[in-house]
Amino acid sequence: MSKKKILFITPPYHAGVVEVAGKWVPLYLVYLAGAARKAGYHVAIFDAMTKDVGYAEIEQKIRSYKPDFIAASVFTCTAPDATLVVETAKKVDPSIKTILGGVHASFMYEEMFSNTDALDFIVRGEGEQTIVELLDAVTKQGDLSRVKGIVYRDKGGLAVTPERPLMENLDNQPMAWDLLDWNDYHYFVIPGSRLGAVDTSRGCDKECTFCSQQKYWKQKWRARSPEDIVREMLELRDKYGVDVVLFTDDYPTPDRARWEKLLDLLIEKQAGQYILMETRAADIIRDEDILHKYRQAGIIHIYVGTEATDQKSLDYIKKDLSTGESKKALALCRKHGIITETSMILGFPDETEDSIARTLELVMDFNPDMAHFLAIAPWPYSDIYKDLEPYIVVKDYRKYNLIDPILKPKNMTLEEVDKAIVDCYRAFYMNRYAEMTLQERDEFKKKYMVTAMKLMMSNSFIKKKIGATMGEMPPEVRKIIESAEA
**pLDDT of 391-407, one tens digit each?**
999 999 999 988 899 99
Task: For 181-194, write each residue's pLDDT tens digit.
Answer: 999 999 999 999 99
190: left (phi over 0), alpha (psi -120 to 50) or beta: beta
**Minimal CA–CA distance to 152: which of 132, 138, 168?**
138
Note the pLDDT of residue 326: 85
Q: How many CA atoms lie within 13 A of 118 on its CB side?
A: 22
Pick from 13-27, 83-97, 372-386 the range whose average pLDDT is largest.
83-97
374 has which bridge partners?
A: 345
Give the three-state DSSP class for 336. Answer: coil
Angle between helices 128-139 and 27-38 (to 10 degrees): 50
CA distance linking residue 366 with residue 378, whole number of Å: 26
The secondary element (H helix, E strand) that includes residue 35 is helix 27-38
- Could you give the dihedral angle defined by the CA atoms of residues 388, 389, 391 and 397, in that order, rounded to the nearest 10 degrees? 110
Task: Say which residue, 44 or 483, is predicted with more confidence.
Answer: 44
Q: Rounded to whole angstroms, how far apart are CA atoms 62 and 72?
A: 13
CA 457 remoteness from chain centre: 21
Per-residue model confidence as pLDDT tens digits over 447-463: 888 788 778 766 656 66
- Give, in order, the Cα–Cα distances in Å from 24 to each of 28, 51, 248, 454: 11, 11, 10, 19
Kindly tell me if the per-residue pLDDT of 317 is higher than 50: no
pLDDT recorded at residue 209: 53
Question: 371 or 47: whose pLDDT is higher?
Answer: 47
pLDDT of res. 306: 65
Q: Which amino acid is at 276?
A: L
Whether 163 contacts 125, CB under 8 Å: yes
Residue in 351, 358, 370, 340 with CA at minimum distance from that of residue 431? 370
Where do the domains of the chain lie, and which CATH numbers do they carry?
5-160 (3.40.50.280), 183-426 (3.20.20.70)
Gyration radius (Cα) of the chain, Å? 23
Please give the Cα distance from 142 to 136 (Å, whole number): 7
**In this model, does residue 485 exceed pLDDT 50?**
no
Tell me how crowded residue 389 is: count the other CB atoms within 10 A of its CB.
11
Q: How confident is the model at residue 154 (pLDDT cuts 50, 70, 90)?
A: very high
Decide the pairing of beta strands 121-123 and 97-101: parallel
> Beta partners for 277?
302
Say if CB 83 and CB 112 are below 8 A apart: yes
Q: Where are the alpha helices (DSSP H) in 287-413?
A: 291-297, 311-316, 323-335, 353-366, 385-388
| Chain center to CA of 337 | 25
